[in-house]
Structures are given as structure tokens and as C-alpha cells.
Structure 1
Amino acid sequence: MAYMKKIYLSSYEEVLELGKEQMEELKTRVKQEKKEAPRHIGSEWGRFEGLHDLSEEQIDELAKTVLAEMTLEQKVNQMSGDESLDSIALSITREYNKTPYYGGEDAQLDLPAVKFSDGSTGVVMYHSTAFPVPVGRAASFDKELEYKIGDAIGTEIRAQGGNYYGGVCINLVRHPAWGRAQESFGEDPYLLGVMGEALTKGVQNHVMACIKHFAANSIENTRFEVDVDMDERSLREVYLPHFERCVKAGAASVMSAYNYFRGESCGHSAYLQRKILKDEWDFRGFILSDFVFCIRDTEDSVNSGMDIEMPSTIHWGTKLVEAVKKGNVREDVIDDAVLRLLRQKIRFAQINADKKPEPEKVVCKEHIALARRAAQESFVLLKNEGVLPLDDKKGQKILIAGKLAAEVNIGDGKGSSAVRPPYAVTPLEGIYRRVKNAAVLYDDGDDLKMTAQKARDADSVIVIAGLTCADEGEYMATFSGGADGIIGGDRSDLRLHGSDIRLIEACARNNRSVTVCVMGGSSIIMDPWCETVQGIAMIWYPGMEGGNALADILFGDVSPSGKLPVSIPKTESQLPFFRINAVKAKYDYYHGYFLADKNGYDMRYPFGYGLSYTDFELRNLRVSAKTASKEDVVKVLVDVSNTGSRAGTEIVQLYTGYCGPSVERHLKDLRGFERVTLEPGQTKTVSIPLAVSDLSYYDDAKGEWRVDPIGYRIIVGNSSMDPDALEAVLEVR
């Protein structure tokens, strides 16, 4: 049992002191420990194997029946991670989550474990499909595609022995310097909620999904100590709506955050965990601790609402048993946590019961095709002065420049995002495979004189520039220098490396057909070099099929359709305050396009912006009602026409503004969107539902949501700053 495990390391900090020989001793000890450990239960779901069609009432009754059989020690075992601290220490510094991490298995009672697999771009177990990073997938504005990606991820987890996915990251990208921005779906709460819900539902066709990190988590380097403060309206309207949406959609689990909130560790915050999550939102799933450092003591954490300590038993186990016996923790608190865990195990034991996916479903043809489509839809064309798509014809010379063109660069290669696919197609490989007639040359950019000469001789230049997991991602300095010495973390510089900028400038001085493809996990400031090139595409970290997808876009086999899920500023002054080593942070109501609207900033590329190889026109905006009450749902309709010569996909975006609001509001908020694919000359009518209740604001004085009886601007366009956006007014009684 977890609470009986022998732990050789008393704290994770001890890992930092281990030398090379001691690490080898630790590795030997962990191997021996696993050899001597009791065998896991013999079936996927233990005593819940083969259950079918139980109602919620029957699930509750079965959970209570099982609970009544359990001793206090067995209850606490359900709440305790099964992995030894030694094993976790070794895996984080070497092969994180190669196999599922177990928590709460009980062979005596035949109760299955929570079998944890991490991820954000796929499944962090060998060897799984690597999709584009979530911020790139958010650029697709394609909730149906995200649902399919979730379904594929859930399939691959279960096929590899897991039953839990810890990769639905829906923390808001408040500032692009946040190192883990790539793991989330951007800066807008509505987009975060829609994409997070789609991913959650897709995953939960097969396994439990976890939404994370709860809450206000958007600084990485000081994630263990930073204390975040904000007013109640900012919390409720900006930082929590996406979490509530995923909870209402049935998310099985929520992971608490490392950071502090209003002076309390999030994992010890009864306000966040009990009052908001469990009481106000009626969350019936369980709360899981972020790994190792999230729980800081025994009694306060469990009394505040935490349900399972993962992946190791440090503060709970026998310590928690003693706390209950001393009366410092009530046993009904333990019972509530165990019932939450049992209910989800029973519920998911029934999903596709007796139909466990075969190992061949991992990185199958369908999932590879899905990864390629996701990459195609994720790319955002930011500038195109007639240079794209490229011509693949004899006599054409195309120069591909930049080291990243020939390197695998699919996202964070360390920690909780380290998806390890069996292969990954680089941009250079993808272009080589696609080209049949043109001559393709490659230059890594080391010798700029040589690069300049090749650029002069070429008909077109494609520069692959950007960042890697050494620049951003999970901060690994805490863990013995990080994976292979790579630290990552928050960015101190929001621009490209000087070597990339010099390469771009050398190419731009010597060729008038230069396209820069930028790799990265969030906004990258592109001024002033963006003025000197003819084409720019944001390609994020595009996953294992990224190179093939990029070639599809560059040569016009697929028209780009992505829109920015984050704003790209001209200067750092257009962003909210951010300090990389902050131990205190004050968040407010404004960031991203909300801040740009408030201060009248002219962003280089606004939220929701993206070009196509064709042109679209929006006209004939109408609303199904001129007046409505707060219980109503109205339809916003607009005609969309493809006025260009190629087929393409437009993303129609619905925002609302406020006419004389009783409290301060954003100038506009995203409320809906639809993808529409059109042939040249074709017109379709797009209909977007708008629930009037979604227009409410949080009255912090009364602790309730209220809908102002005012006029609401209905704004429909192709970005948050579309100068040709259509407008109407809806009066709410």
C-alpha cells in the first residue's frame, strides 16, 4: 500500500544534492524496488471490470458500498500516490512518465489505481502521436478537430495501460513570456473554454481527463512560491470561466496549481477548492495535486479540499492516518475524497468496457493524418505580399535557410510535455518530399556571406526561425540542471535570437521574395524585421507531421486558415507587467486584446487575425431578435462569401460590446466563432448562438452574476480589430 512504502529520499530537494555516483545508486535501488514491489491487480479495472449502464444513483450507491468495506488505512491509501519518491526523482531527471504513474491501487480490495499519463501535445509515454502544441491547435478555432485529437489521445493512453490524462491545460496566457504558454489555448477565456471542453470530451471517450492548473497559474520560473493577487471580478470573469465550462462539461478531475493565491497555496485554498469548485460549481470529480511540491503539509491540504496526493506519498499516508486519529482531520472529509475517487473509477470502468484499444492504435495511420491536419489548420499566415504559395516548376530555385529547418522542434522536450513520437518530420524534410520540379537548396545560416549569395541566386527564400524548449517551457533548473541540461522556463526576451534576426536581414537585403516561418509557443515580437520581408507565417511547434503540413501550406495544396489565439504586439510596452523572478504578482481585468482595446494600442497582429490564399467578404448581419431577456438565446447570422479564386476557410468571430454598462467592462469580448469552408464564388450563411446569460458580469458586492438591462453591441468580423467588422445592437430588458 502507498502509505506503507519505504522512502529513501525524505524530500525532493535531496535530489539536487546527488552526484553522478549517487544517481547511479538511486537507479539501481529503484530497479530493485520495482522488482520486489507487489504485483498490480490482474485486470484493467479490478472489481469494477465489466460494469455497464449504471445510472448516477447506482454509481453513488456502489461507491458507498465499497467505502463501507474499507478501513481508515485503506481509505487513505486511495488518496495516496503509489510511486516512491526515489522513482519519481529518477524519472523526472531521466525518462519522465515513460509508463503510467499509479496512485491508490489496492490489491486486497481489488481496487484499480489512478493511472496517470501527462501531456499536452499527446501522450507522454513511449512512443505516442505528437500533435501540434495546444496554442497552435487553438489557432485552428476548430473545436470538432480538437475533440478528435482528444479522442486519439484517450485511445493511445488506454492502449498503453493508462486511465487518466493530465494534459488539459487551460491556464490563461496573460503574458507571452510565460514559459508554458504553448501548453494552453491562448489569451481569451472563451476560446480556452471551448477548446478545453472539446479536448476533455474527446479524451473522456476513453479515460479520465484532468483540467489544470487551478488557478491563476501563468508564471513558470517562480511557480512554487509566487503569490498571485487579483480582485474578485477579474478572477470570476477572466481567470475562471474556462475552468467552470470544463467542469460543467463533466471533467473527471482538476489539478491544483503550485502557486499561491491571495496568500495561500492553491493546493491549500479552501476558497478555490471547496467554496468555488466543489460548492458553487457542484464539481463531483476529484482534485489531484500537482506533483511533489503542491501539497505542503498534511492537515491543511486535505481539510481545504485536496483529494489525492500524487505521484508519491510524502505528506499523507501514515501521517494522514495519524491526523484523523488525533481528530485534526474528520473522517467524513476522508470519506468525501474517497467517494469522489471511487465514483470516477466506476464511471470510467464502464466506458468502452471490454473494448480496450489494441497497441496498434498508438501512432496509427488515422492519428498521423490527424496530426498533419491539425498542423495545417494551426499555421497562421500573417503577411503575404504575393510570395505564397510557392511555384514547384522547373527552373525555380528555392532556398531554405536556418538551423531549425533541419531540426526536430515539436515543443517542450522535457518534463510534463515531453511527448516522444517514433519520428518527426522537419520543415526541410517536408519540403524535400513535396517538391517534384523546383530546385531546393539548404543553408544553415552560419556563414551569412554565403547565405546572402544563395539568397541572391534564389527565386524564393523560406527562413525557418524561432525558439526551442531551451528558450521556453517547463522550468527545469530545479531538477538537477534539467533534462540534458535544458532549463527552459519563462522568457526574458520576447524577440527572436540575434542570429535569426541577422539571417532574416541578410536574406531580405538580397531577395524580394522572403517568407519567414516562425516557431514558438506564444507571441514573438517581429518588429522591425517584419517590415523588410514579404511573407510571415506563425507555425508554432507543429508536431510530428509539421514538416509535411508546412509544405502543404507553402505550395498551396492547402490554404492557410489559422487565426491568432494570442495578440502579437509591436513593443513590450503594449503588454501587462511581467517579472520573470516575481514572488508577488498582481493581476487585473486587462491583458491581451482587452488591454489593447482599453489603451488604444495598434498591435502588430491582433488576436483573431490570420490571412488566407483567397479573400472573404462578410455582409448582411442580422440578429434573430431586437430585444431579449436574460433567459433567451438569440441567433447571430451573417453571410460569408469567397470572393477570391481559391477554395478556403474563414473563421467568423462574434464579439460583444456594451452600451453604457453599470460597471467597467472590456471594450469587447469574444462570444462565439464558426469555421466556414467555401469554394470560389460561394456564399454561405453562418449562424452563431448567443446566450444572453453569457453577457453577465460578476457583482462582487452581492456575490452573484448579473445581466445589465442595456444595449449590447453585436460585432462580427475576422479578428478582434477588424476595421470592416459588422455591427448591430441587441437590447436586453
Structure 2
Amino acid sequence: MPFDDFNTAQPDPAIEAEIDGLLEELTLEEKVYMMSGHGFHYYFTQVDNRQFGQRAYAAGSGCERLGIEPLYFSDGPRGKRHKEATTCFPVPMARAATFDVDLEERIGKAIGVEARALGVTLSGTICINLLRHPGWGRAQETYGEDPFQLGEFGAALCRGVQAHNVIATVKHFAVNSVENTRFKIDVSIDERTLREVYLPHFKRTLDAGCGSVMSAYNKVNGEYCAHNRHLLTDILKGDWGFNGFVHSDWVLGVHGVDAAEAGLDIENPEGVKFGKKLVAAVNTGEVSQQAIDQAVRRILRTQMRFAREPDPREYSRDDLACEEHVALALEAAEKSIVLLKNEGILPFDRRQLSTLAVIGRLADVENLGDKGSSRVTPPYSVTILEGLRKLVGADIEILFDDGSDHDRAVAVAEAADAVLCVKGFTWKEEGEFIPGDEALDSDDPNSRSTSGGDRHHLRLRPEDEALIGKIAARHSKVAVALVGGSAIMKNAWHMDVGAIAMTWYSGMEGGTAIARVLFGDRVPSGKLPFTVPKHEDDLPFFDPAALEIEYGPLHGYTKLDAEGIEAAYPFGFGLSYTQFEYGAAQVKLTSDEIVVEAKVTNTGSLRADEVAQCYVGFPGSAVDRPVKLLRGFERITIEPGESATVSFTLSPRDLAYYDVASKSWRIENIRYAFYVAASSRTETDKAAHLDAPAHWSGLSFPA
């Protein structure tokens, strides 16, 4: 890959020398101009009727006198954000459920191609904030609760996007896991938790060559992220050797000129706190000239390195939502669906069904995810109802009811051979919190209203739970398709139905994918990228209105493991239409790595994919550590009756913990446990054990 060494090698001497010359020639005003975006407010208020993301915005750099182009920014974790129709992929949380990093890299390449077709050179595509609590409103934009998985998917998306010479931005740095109060909340966190839980995925993505970082709105230990020297300078640019630039989140991401000294290089989307105020601050000595020159150097270094890499192909509007990209969206949707329960209901059998009742308004509406910065407008989208009707044609009669009248819906269900209830959420109930000052779904300013945000509880609406119960009481063949971006509690009704599938916000071809899986044309293979507890009280404390909160080291499966609590559906869980059996783990040691292997056998009758997961445990640790941590995963295809051996290569650092006293990563001289399993619910009797090699014991690694 052309940029995989961007943050791990020394900058190009020729480019650095050229930048030296430009810094001599640029005036202070021109340098400061390059440290902010320009034109956003004009387009937003005067041209685009307060509709965000209608174009690529000038978001830093640019000097007309010297022929330096601005950076042009577009958002888009699930496709390019633009007024033109682009490919809408399933939301990142759905793609995380595939556990397929090769697929994610291919999606990144498609997004990179469409970015170039739209003139985008800076893409806000990679959201890897950790899902501390599934009530977080923007859960759908990230990849789940585990730092290792977040890092692998962030790195894959980065490689894909940057393969087409688009600078990728990873966001939001850092510790951003509450939505409603994201502009003000102060997160208290100790250094070890910060390094071990909330930052590793950012470093993994930067080690893959990511060229830019977006700072978060929130505070960390009393300092706003865009002003947090410890995050931006000490860790990011110091400890990690990041060579690119840092830009702020939009509109309310910067609070004063001191951000420039802390390590923020660009204020977006306009120079409100920088601009003339920053020029004045330099002239009075409040901000150093060195800080300005360092910021401009980072901007130019990144821009020049990416702009001068030969393009792998040409780009045009024909690339937008092209056949290849749409097929990729369909593949992702098919692989993402997680089968949570199945008592012989699924797959629906065409030979035995003459009628299928589909109950719930969400089956018949476009439901692609939130309508904030990640919104994508594809040329079309296939609803669940459309997908089912297209698949079965005239062979099976589809009886639809929106569920608004429970008596009517129950009667429709009773008249069918089987029932599919489609329940969940839309952009109105979860997603980016949009205050009531932006018209995101209408051209009528009077229709503006607050939408999205954090969920106050994880259950379906009471009326939806009640309808599922009523239908299940009158019919023996009921499946539920859940639509949403994160965990949904099922306590009130899961025992009453025969099958449950998590279908996510599944993108423009979602209806096609869901129909194929429900009818067995595709075998479900998705796995949960988060833990669904039996009780919400088993999760960390979460308050959408909080202005202060403390983040500890445990959440998700690490918290339930430590407390000995069983999950309703553990991290990594997902059923299939076939069955898999895992053999005992085997561990091999070489001089500088550990190889963990296990045999996986398809004991069922269908060819299918399985996601094998590798965990490392720390029994006997003298340091307070999780019971186990994910350290690898592999998606494999196995024929019925056959076996495959999965292999995971671990480095010494995979065993290490962060030692605050020495400010380094250290390895304990203990016996480690290694598990290979179908989910985080591992079987201890199939674990392999290994003492830390003598030459590893006490090893330390830079922070």
C-alpha cells in the first residue's frame, strides 16, 4: 500500500525541503488561513438551505497566490456524504458483524473511488470510538465494544480509502462515547485505562498509515480534546510519531487560540476561533510562530505526499453507486445479519409456505441509518418488504400490515402460514443528535425538530413488545427481524418467538440481503460486535444528560467476565443454519511470536462461513487485568462434514499491559491462557496454556 508507512517512517526529505521553502515564502496571514476551513457557512446558510453535507467543503490548506489547493472534505462512514447519489453501504456496526476485514478494505476502496469522483481529498470515513455502552446514539457509526476489532476494521477501511490517494480521517479523538452532551461532557479517565481501552484502536489505524485525525468535542480530564496537549502532542505526535495533521470536529470543536499550541492544526469548518484571532495571538506572543509553522508543515506534508502518489485509475461520476459498489453493499448486508435464536423457524421453506405475514411499518420504509453527518442518499434502496416480494414472486403471497392497529395485525398474522415481525428504530430514535435547528428531512423550516441521540433504555417501544407478544400467543411460527444500530433488549418477548435476527441498518440493498437470508438462499454468518446483557444494570453506568462521567477499564464482555455474569448474547455470538464444533486450542512458540491454532468442523449439512475468535487470558496476573481479551479473528468457509484449521499469530505486545510508572508496555512472567471459540463465551477445558518465554519476561515497549 502506498501510505502504510506514513506514520512509521521518516517524512520524505524532498517534501520537507520544499515545505521549508514555502514556510519562508508564506505570510503569517496565509499560514493561519491554511489552518481553517472556508466557505462552509456561506453554502450551508445561503445555498443549501441548512442541509449539511451537500458538497465537498474546503477544510484547510489552500493559498491561491502560491497555487496551493485547499483540502476538500466529505463525511461518510457508510458511503460518501454528498447531494449526488452515492453507494449506501450498511452502517459500520453491521459491517463489524461480518468480522471480514478484507470486505471492509474493499468497501474502503469503493468509498475512496467515489470520493475522488466527487473531488474529495479528505474523507471523514473512519469512526472507531469504542462502544462503552450500547445506548450511545452514534453506536451505528462505529465497530463495537472491543478495541482489537475496532483497530483491525479501522486499519482496513483506512487502507481502502487511501488506496485512491484520499487522505483518511480517523475520528473522534478521543474517549467519545456519549452523544447528547458531547459538546460539554468531561470524561475522567486514568492513564492505564486510556492507553489500554480507549486508544489502542486509534494507534492501530495510524500504524496503517492514516493521514489525519479529527478531535472530539468532549473534554478529557478537564480539557477539551482540541485543546488537550496530552492527547494531541504528548501521545499522538510524541509517543506515536504521527506525521499527519489534526483537525477539529465541526462548528463547536474549538474554543480558543490555545488549541494551536496544544496540537490542533486545523479548525473546521471556519476560522471562528482561529482566523484573525489567531493572527493577533501570534503577534502578541500568546501563540508561538513555531506552533503555526509546525501546523502548516503537517498540513502540507500530508497533502503533498498524497497528491503526488500516482493515481491507480481515472475517476468520474460513473463511479457513483456503480454496479460493482452496489454488489459490495449487498455482500456486506448478507454477511452482517446475526441469527440470535432459531427453533426450526428459519429458513422459511418455500415448499411449505403459501402465505407469509410481514408485520411492522419498518418493513416498508427506507431506513438506512441516522440523518446526521453520516447520512448517504443512494439512487434507490430496497426495503425488507420489497426484498421479500421480489424474492418469492408469485409463489408466496405476502400479507403486509404496518402494525398500527394491533387487532388488525394479529388477524393478518393468523391468516398466514408464518409471520415475520419487523421491529426496531429509525433516525428519529437514535443516531447523531441533531438539535432542532437543521432541516435534515424536509425543505420546510417549520418541520425542523430534534432527532437522534442516545437511547435512555435498550428495549423496543412498549407497543412493539406488546404486539410481538400478542402475535406469538396466536401463532407458532413467528420470526422477528430487528432493525437498529446497537443492542436491543428482548427480555419481554424472546421466549415467545421462534427466531430472532439482527438485521441492522443494512444499506441500499438491505431488503434483498435480508430476504435471501430469511429464505435460506444465504446462510447467516454475522456475529455480534458487542455484548447484549440479560439486564441493563449489568452494563456500565450511562446517563445521556451527564456533564461529568468517569470511565473505568471494564465494559462489555470484560465487565461481565470480571463479575461472573452470563450475557444474554455474548460478544462474538451468532448462529448459523448449520453447526460448528471447535477442537482444543494448540499453542506454538517461536523466538518472537506465538501461534495459536484450533480445528473447526462443520457438523451440519450446509456449506457456510464461521467466524473463529482467539482470546488471551491472564490467570495469576499480579496486575488487575480482564479475564481475557480478543487478540484475533478469522472468517472461514467450511463444507459440510469437513474441518479447517484456524491459525492466529500473536506478538509479545499482545500479552502486555500498560505500566503507568515506567510509561511503557510490559509483559508479566506468568502463565497465559489461549482460547479459540465461536464467541467470548469460551470453554476453559479447550484452552491452551503457555508460560511467558524467559526472553519475553519483563520486556517493555514504548508507549
User: Shorter-chain TM-score: which interval?
Assistant: over 0.9
Distance in 1 between residues matched to 2:685 and 2:98, nearest whole Å: 20
Distance in 1 between residues matched to 2:211 and 2:378, nearest whole Å: 27
- Displacement of 1:619 after TM fit? 1.3
Distance in 2 between residues matched to 1:354 and 1:244, nearest whole Å: 27
Distance in 1 between residues matched to 2:533 and 2:46, nearest whole Å: 41
Distance in 1 between residues matched to 2:585 and 2:558, nearest whole Å: 24
Aligned pairs (5 A) from 1:548-567: 548-567=512-531
User: Does 1:687 pair with 2:664?
Assistant: no
Match of 2:241 in 1: 282
- Displacement of 1:724 after TM fit? 7.5
Match of residue 178, structure 2, among 219, 230, 253: 219
Matched position secondary structure for 2:347? coil
Question: Does structure 2 conserve the Cα–Cα contact (< 8 Å) formed by 1:93 and 1:479?
Answer: no
Matched position secondary structure for 1:730? strand
Amino acid of the structure 1 residue aligned with 2:38: D
Consecutive unaligned residues of structure 1, counting only runs of 5 or more, are 1-53
Q: Evaluate the alpha carbon distance shift between residue 92 and residue 289 of structure 1 in structure 2; reply closer, same or farther with a 3 A threshold.
A: farther
Matched position secondary structure for 2:453? coil
Matched position secondary structure for 2:488? coil
Q: Evaluate the alpha carbon distance shift between residue 456 and residue 160 of structure 1 in structure 2; reply closer, same or farther with a 3 A threshold.
A: same
User: Does 1:255 pair with 2:214?
Assistant: yes
Q: Evaluate the alpha carbon distance shift between residue 481 and residue 224 of structure 1 in structure 2; reply closer, same or farther with a 3 A threshold.
A: farther
Amino acid of the structure 2 residue aligned with 1:85: H
- Displacement of 1:722 after TM fit? 3.6
User: Does 1:515 pair with 2:482?
Assistant: no
Question: Does structure 2 conserve the Cα–Cα contact (< 8 Å) formed by 1:655 and 1:715?
Answer: yes
- Displacement of 1:57 after TM fit? 2.2
User: Does 1:74 pair with 2:30?
Assistant: yes
Q: Deviations over 1:367-390 (max 9, x none)?
A: 000000000111100001011111
Match of 2:594 in 1: 634
User: Does 1:239 pair with 2:203?
Assistant: no
Distance in 2 between residues matched to 1:271 and 1:356, nearest whole Å: 41
Match of 2:359 in 1: 401
Instruction: Please give the TM-score of this superposition, normalised by the length of structure 1.
Output: 0.90
Distance in 2 between residues matched to 1:242 and 1:62, nearest whole Å: 33
- Displacement of 1:112 after TM fit? 1.2
Matched position secondary structure for 1:688? strand
Distance in 2 between residues matched to 1:354 and 1:445, nearest whole Å: 51
Distance in 2 between residues matched to 1:94 and 1:333, nearest whole Å: 34
More deviation, 526-535/616-625 = 616-625
- Displacement of 1:450 after TM fit? 2.0
User: Does 1:465 pair with 2:455?
Assistant: no
Match of 2:95 in 1: 137
- Displacement of 1:88 after TM fit? 3.7
Distance in 1 between residues matched to 2:488 and 2:16, nearest whole Å: 49
The total of aligned residue pairs comes to: 674
- Displacement of 1:604 after TM fit? 0.8
Matched position secondary structure for 1:221? coil
Q: Evaluate the alpha carbon distance shift between residue 287 and residue 192 of structure 1 in structure 2; reply closer, same or farther with a 3 A threshold.
A: same
- Displacement of 1:55 after TM fit? 8.0
Question: Does structure 2 conserve the Cα–Cα contact (< 8 Å) formed by 1:398 and 1:462?
Answer: yes
Question: Does structure 1 conserve the Cα–Cα contact (< 8 Å) formed by 2:675 and 2:682?
Answer: no
Question: Does structure 2 conserve the Cα–Cα contact (< 8 Å) formed by 1:717 and 1:724?
Answer: no
- Displacement of 1:454 after TM fit? 2.2
- Displacement of 1:481 after TM fit? 7.7
Match of 2:561 in 1: 597
Instruction: Please give the TM-score of this superposition, normalised by the length of structure 2.
Output: 0.93
Consecutive unaligned residues of structure 2, counting only runs of 5 or more, are 1-9, 442-447, 695-703
More deviation, 94-103/392-401 = 392-401
Matched position secondary structure for 1:474? strand
Match of 1:116 in 2: 73
Match of residue 379, structure 2, among 396, 413, 422: 422
Aligned pairs (5 A) from 1:60-459: 60-88=16-44, 94-103=50-59, 104-125=61-82, 126-206=84-164, 207-298=166-257, 300-353=258-311, 355-393=313-351, 396-413=354-371, 415-436=372-393, 437-459=395-417
Matched position secondary structure for 1:650? strand
Distance in 1 between residues matched to 2:523 and 2:322, nearest whole Å: 26
Distance in 2 between residues matched to 1:639 and 1:542, nearest whole Å: 32
Distance in 2 between residues matched to 1:505 and 1:310, nearest whole Å: 49
Q: Deviations over 1:251-286 (max 9, x none)?
A: 100000000110111100000000000000000000
Q: Deviations over 1:653-679 (max 9, x none)?
A: 000111211210001100001011011
Root-mean-square deviation (CA), in Å?
A: 1.7
Amino acid of the structure 2 residue aligned with 1:224: F
Q: Deviations over 1:225-245 (max 9, x none)?
A: 100001111101000000111
Distance in 2 between residues matched to 1:179 and 1:92, nearest whole Å: 26
Question: Does structure 2 conserve the Cα–Cα contact (< 8 Å) formed by 1:475 and 1:488?
Answer: yes
Question: Does structure 2 conserve the Cα–Cα contact (< 8 Å) formed by 1:716 and 1:725?
Answer: no
User: Does 1:659 pair with 2:626?
Assistant: no
Q: Evaluate the alpha carbon distance shift between residue 394 and residue 660 of structure 1 in structure 2; reply closer, same or farther with a 3 A threshold.
A: closer
Matched position secondary structure for 2:621? coil
Question: Does structure 2 conserve the Cα–Cα contact (< 8 Å) formed by 1:79 and 1:308?
Answer: yes
Question: Does structure 1 conserve the Cα–Cα contact (< 8 Å) formed by 2:48 and 2:54?
Answer: no
Q: Evaluate the alpha carbon distance shift between residue 64 and residue 573 of structure 1 in structure 2; reply closer, same or farther with a 3 A threshold.
A: same
Match of residue 435, structure 2, among 477, 485, 506: 477
Distance in 2 between residues matched to 1:381 and 1:674, nearest whole Å: 19
Question: Does structure 2 conserve the Cα–Cα contact (< 8 Å) formed by 1:696 and 1:705?
Answer: yes
- Displacement of 1:95 after TM fit? 2.1
User: Does 1:677 pair with 2:598?
Assistant: no
More deviation, 515-524/634-643 = 634-643
Q: Percent identity?
A: 46
